[in-house]
């Protein structure tokens, strides 16, 4: 179940009908504990259990449970997507174990969808939350996302602490798998946008160009009609680790023509790729022409498909 963006008026302000949680800056997963094993699945349904070996400890504390939550990595006490991005793409068990020691992560659980063999999807959020609160988090492996009664207080606190935002959840809402529901409403303090990569340009500077290295990405986002539209190019935030992830994601995807109309100035010297890779960008708004203002790359979203991308 996914949240819809808050309207101009903001999240609903009715603590009797709505509950409020922190919007965590992480990777959404379902953690399925059953018969002594833990299977983690991303939003795309991909099995990411090997990527996060520390969550195997969930099976030691709970016999049968299906948790919905976010995997987060902390930097200076605040969830950092950039720190998490270094772990999201690791598949090898040995490398994942080393990464877990270098960059520990925590599962912040905010919903429970099955407990002791009983499906809870048709229960209200309030009932599911009470079931979640009765579970005991197992050490550092997972925590329960706190719930707050006052939207304005939480909005102010999360902004002051540099957190991503707030999610309001209607207390009587059932869980609707895979649906973007108005029963969950999100407000982000920072302007973030998932984008589809449609090409890249080499590193440029001082009159030279290194065409073998990725210097900037050409980005697109679906419009209201679902068709991709060019939203600009981004190179800020692109470091060596992200370039390595991008090369792996884009390998073998070269095409002769871009999937969208790209202005000549942006297309000059570019290599075009099939629109299959998603990245996340922080930006300062949009120009009248729809381009992102001052986009900064945050990382490759291997947990998202292009079909998951929506204009935020």
| Tokens 């939350």 found at | 129
User: In this structure, what are the phi and psi dihedrals at residue 197, rounded to the nearest 5 degrees?
Assistant: -80, 125
Task: Name the residues annotated as catalytic.
Answer: 23
Q: What token pair was written down for 280?
A: 């996340």
- What angle do helix axes 240-250 and 81-88 make, rounded to 10 degrees? 50
Contact residues for 305 (Cβ-Cβ < 8 A; gap 6+): 44, 278
The answer to whether 82 and 73 have CB atoms below 8 angstroms apart is no
Q: What token pair was written down for 309?
A: 């991308």
267-288 in b/e burial notation, b at 16+ Cβ within 10 A? Answer: beebbbbbbebbbbbbbeebee
Contact residues for 24 (Cβ-Cβ < 8 A; gap 6+): 70, 72, 79, 108, 145, 163, 164
Tell me, rounded to whole angstroms, the distance of Cα 224 from its chain centroid. Answer: 21
Q: What token pair was written down for 242?
A: 């992200």
């Amino acid at each position: 179940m996914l949240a819809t963006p808050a309207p101009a008026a903001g999240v609903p302000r009715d603590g009797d009908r709505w509950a409020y949680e922190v919007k965590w800056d992480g990777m959404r997963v379902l953690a399925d504990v059953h018969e002594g094993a833990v299977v983690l699945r991303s939003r795309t349904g991909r099995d990411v259990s090997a990527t996060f070996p520390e969550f195997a400890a969930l099976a030691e504390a709970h016999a049968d449970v299906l948790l919905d939550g976010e995997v987060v990595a902390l930097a200076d006490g605040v969830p950092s997507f950039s720190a998490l991005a270094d772990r999201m793409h690791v598949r090898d068990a040995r490398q994942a174990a080393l990464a877990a020691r270098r960059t520990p992560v925590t599962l912040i659980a905010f919903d429970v969808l099955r407990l002791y063999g009983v499906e809870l999807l048709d229960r209200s959020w309030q009932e599911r939350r009470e079931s979640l609160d009765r579970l005991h988090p197992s050490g550092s492996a997972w925590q329960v996302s706190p719930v707050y009664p006052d939207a304005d207080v939480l909005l102010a606190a999360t902004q002051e602490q540099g957190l991503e935002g707030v999610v309001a959840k209607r207390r009587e809402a059932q869980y609707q798998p895979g649906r973007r529901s108005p029963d969950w409403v999100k407000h982000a303090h920072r302007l973030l946008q998932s984008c589809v990569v449609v090409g890249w340009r080499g590193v440029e500077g001082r009159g030279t160009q290194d065409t073998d290295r990725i210097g900037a990405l050409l980005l697109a986002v679906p419009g209201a009609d679902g068709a991709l539209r060019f939203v600009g190019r981004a190179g800020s935030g692109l470091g060596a680790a992200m370039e390595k992830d991008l090369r792996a994601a884009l390998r073998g995807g070269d095409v002769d023509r871009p999937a969208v109309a790209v202005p000549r100035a942006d297309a000059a010297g570019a290599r075009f790729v099939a629109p299959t890779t998603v990245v996340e960008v922080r930006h300062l708004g949009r120009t009248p022409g729809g381009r992102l203002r001052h986009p900064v790359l945050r990382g490759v979203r291997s947990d998202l498909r292009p079909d998951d991308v929506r204009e935020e």
